[in-house]
Structure 1
């Protein structure tokens, strides 16, 4: 097992940090094996695929690395807790996506919320893209911006119409791409949950519902202070 390699890039006009960690987990092949045995199913209506909870041992194994990044990059000094961690395989066909799935999104508006996407596919099924909302110019949507952002987005949709069915592959009339992290096996990307983002999935490629060949990730959502 190679040592973790941590790098930080800043995206957009707001200069939000995005942390990239290669060699993230001590035993990624074991995680893939666990995903094979997991009861993957649709959880909720937002994620375009199937999911299953990851065991607490995973969180314990990667917590020191994430805590270090949370402390040194984001300035959280006191506490880090995993709210949930989920095996995830994107499987939905582009034409079946709901409106929220066809636009960049945030995971949470609350302060102190972080997200991690851990890539566990050897094939390139796409990484993570980050965006600016054109009409407001905002790249992060915190509690002070949330209501105004939703109102502006509703106005945008009335003017421009809804986006066509499909995953977001770059700039759109409503959003401008400001950065992208490509995937690599056992790479993780860490960012604030309030940063507009989406999975970088290509519409032309069918998504297999298979742990060994599909877009397998672990999505983790954390609270820090």
Structure 2
């Protein structure tokens, strides 16, 4: 895990760019709406990312952007689907790295990372994927599905092992296989306005 403050050289412009885009629902995993970033998003970031990917994650031969999405958390706690009420992973493939970039100035919620209790997994790669899914179904039979609401700390099925607070223009960089979830309080005021809502950019990198 790497935390970088002052990640982008132009965070204010990125927020303004987001106000010009059309956001929509992309998947069952993210509790809100998303839009593809504009091309300028990665301007100036290569010099920051390359040494992190090389020195921290050990990838030296290739680094490519697989995708990058503006993300606004907007789903009320009572409307969350099951995949949004538990930690998730972004990918099981080797060489996949994820970035969460916070573009909210105040009152935002951060990101928590989890261990799956019955398997002990903190990461889910290709070899663990089926084992994890089967164990999770067994957990639901034993403990029941989690009630409506955002996950906020330990549960009978998951143990929170790390919690990272947000900050304006802060980025978290981590392996995509890590189990994690947005740490959103159920009483948070969720809005679809990029200037005042929980605006982040989720980026996905492929490296060798």
* Class of the TM-score when normalised by the shorter of the 2 chains: over 0.9
Q: Which has the higher contact order (CA 8 A, sep 6+)?
A: 2
| Distance in 2 separating the partners of 1:115 and 1:139 | 15
Which stretch has the larger CA shift, 64-73 or 134-143? 64-73
Q: Is the 8 A contact 1:93 1:206 kept in 2?
A: no
Q: CA deviation at 1:29?
A: 0.3
Equivalent residue number for residue 35 of structure 2? 52
* Secondary structure of residue in 1 paired with 2:126: coil
Equivalent residue number for residue 181 of structure 1? 164
- Of 154, 162, 168, the match for 1:171: 154
Give the TM-score, by structure 2 length.
0.97
- Of 145, 157, 161, the match for 1:162: 145
Q: CA deviation at 1:44?
A: 2.7
Equivalent residue number for residue 148 of structure 1? 131
Runs of 4+ in 1 over 2 A off after TM superposition: none
* Secondary structure of residue in 1 paired with 2:113: strand
Q: CA deviation at 1:64?
A: 2.4
Structure 1 residue 100 corresponds to structure 2 residue 50: no
Structure 1 residue 198 corresponds to structure 2 residue 181: yes
**Structure 1 gaps, min length 5:** 1-17
Q: Is the 8 A contact 1:59 1:85 kept in 2?
A: no
RMSD: 0.9
| Distance in 2 separating the partners of 1:126 and 1:89 | 12
| Distance in 1 separating the partners of 2:64 and 2:134 | 32
**Structure 2 gaps, min length 5:** none
| Distance in 2 separating the partners of 1:183 and 1:223 | 25
